[in-house]
Amino acid sequence: MDRPSWAPDDIDLDKPTAARAYDYLLGGAHNFAADREMIRAAMSFMPDLALQAQANRAFLRRAVQYLVDVGVRQFLDIGSGIPTRGNVHEIAQRAAPDARVVYVDIDPVAVSHGRHFLAGNPHTYVLQEDVRNPTDIVKHPDVTDLLDFERPIGLLMVALLHVVPDADDPYGIVAHLRDELSPGSHIVIGHGTHDSRPEEVAKLTAISRQTPTAMSTRTREDVVRFFDGFELVDPGVVWAPLWRPDSPEDVPEDPGRSGNYVGVGRLG
Ligand code: SAM
């Protein structure tokens, strides 16, 4: 297969990754046959997987709009994924053209395409880094050039922490990042769970082991713990479609099928 320009030389096109599989689910074009095959296998027992991804993405959009509305003008989006429609900088810079956004992802395609996509946007930066190295993110000179940690920052970790297993101390990572933030900052979390569909999610988790970032879903109680030290913004930790929907008509009959708990916390 010809290697497209956005696929760095050192990546294995035959091994799926979460970023490219998610891109496929959202209708993007930055994925390979291996990613699509993995998603098709998952859809054989979870046919509404694309709806789950869309519900997660719609939450991200509403949460960023909320942060813009309360005056946040700087964003650190970790596990940002391959740029698609409704990216954080598009939402934030529509309201405030000088809003600053740093995108961080471990996936080389997400970073390579992100840099290409954002060329010419001086208020954005794309960093290739692992969330498990939080100091390398917050102390990176290009990050501190763009973001002022003495002022409020919107820290986004949407559909990210469920690929960080307990052995890698996800709670310690979030606490570390929280301690770098100043009052008025917010954290936005979306997190996959097995609470509503345990059998299907067990199969999905098994399939995710084909990627370098296998899933470790958690319960609602576990997800609430990530907000330690933050005040939860109303309505708290809820199923993705239930977090401040644009219209009651957007809420499906069974919001638990979205498979993701979400929430926004404010640092007092
Ligand atoms: N946040 C976006 C959203 O919700 O639409 C994208 C979510 S996508 C499902 C998860 C992203 O997290 C992928 O792009 C993946 O490469 C990235 N990721 C996985 N493990 C990571 C890690 N240890 N550090 C940074 N990014 C990671």
Give residue-wise pLDDT tens across range 69-107: 999 999 999 999 999 888 999 999 999 999 999 999 999
Contact of 29 with 113, CB cutoff 8 Å: no
Report the first-to-last Cα separation within the chain, whole angstroms: 52
- Whether the pLDDT of residue 227 is over 90: the answer is yes
Range 228-232, long-range pairs (CB < 8 A, 24+ positions): 228/171, 228/175, 229/175, 229/178, 229/267, 230/178, 230/186, 230/187, 230/265, 230/266, 230/267, 231/265, 231/266, 231/267, 231/268, 232/263, 232/264, 232/265
Domain borders along the chain are 18-266
- Whether the pLDDT of residue 208 is over 90: the answer is yes
- Whether the pLDDT of residue 153 is over 90: the answer is yes
CATH of span 18-266: 3.40.50.150
CA–CA separation, 57 and 27 (whole Å): 12
Residue closest by Cα to atom 13 of ligand 1: 19
Number of neighbours of residue 143 by Cβ within 10 angstroms: 18
Half-sphere exposure of 75 (CA within 13 A, CB side): 36
- Whether the pLDDT of residue 31 is over 70: the answer is yes
DSSP-derived secondary structure for 188-242:
EEEEE-SSS-HHHHHHHHHHHTTSSS------HHHHHHTTTTSEEPTT-SEEGGG
Which tokens sit at 103?
């995108």
In ligand 1, which atom is closest to the CA atom of 81? 14
Dihedral pair phi/psi, residue 185, rounded to 5°: -70, 160
Residue closest by Cα to atom 9 of ligand 1: 159
Contact of 186 with 233, CB cutoff 8 Å: yes
If you measure from the C-alpha of residue 254 to the centroid of ligand 1, how many angstroms do you get, rounded to a whole number?
26
In ligand 1, which atom is closest to the CA atom of 157? 1
Of the pLDDT bands very low, low, confident and very high (cuts 50, 70, 90), residue 1 is low
| Cβ of residue 81 lying under 6 Å from some atom of ligand 1 | yes
Rounded average pLDDT over 106-126: 95
- Whether the pLDDT of residue 176 is over 70: the answer is yes
- Residues near 259 by Cβ (< 8 Å), separated by ≥ 6? 52, 192, 193, 196, 197, 201
| Cβ of residue 25 lying under 6 Å from some atom of ligand 1 | no
pLDDT at 78: 98
| Residue to mutate (ligand 1; options 35, 76, 90, 107; most atoms within 8 A of CB) | 107
Residue closest by Cα to atom 17 of ligand 1: 79
| Cβ of residue 159 lying under 6 Å from some atom of ligand 1 | yes
- Whether the pLDDT of residue 6 is over 90: the answer is no
Q: Which run of H or E residues covers position 117?
A: helix 108-118
Q: What is the pLDDT of residues 56-73, one digit of tens each?
A: 999 999 999 999 999 999
CA-derived radius of gyration, the chain: 17
Amino acid 33 reads: A
pLDDT at 10: 86
- Whether the pLDDT of residue 175 is over 70: the answer is yes
CA–CA separation, 153 and 146 (whole Å): 11
In ligand 1, which atom is closest to the CA atom of 131? 24
If you measure from the C-alpha of residue 158 to the centroid of ligand 1, how many angstroms do you get, rounded to a whole number?
8
Of the pLDDT bands very low, low, confident and very high (cuts 50, 70, 90), residue 246 is very high
Number of neighbours of residue 199 by Cβ within 10 angstroms: 9
| Cβ of residue 213 lying under 6 Å from some atom of ligand 1 | yes
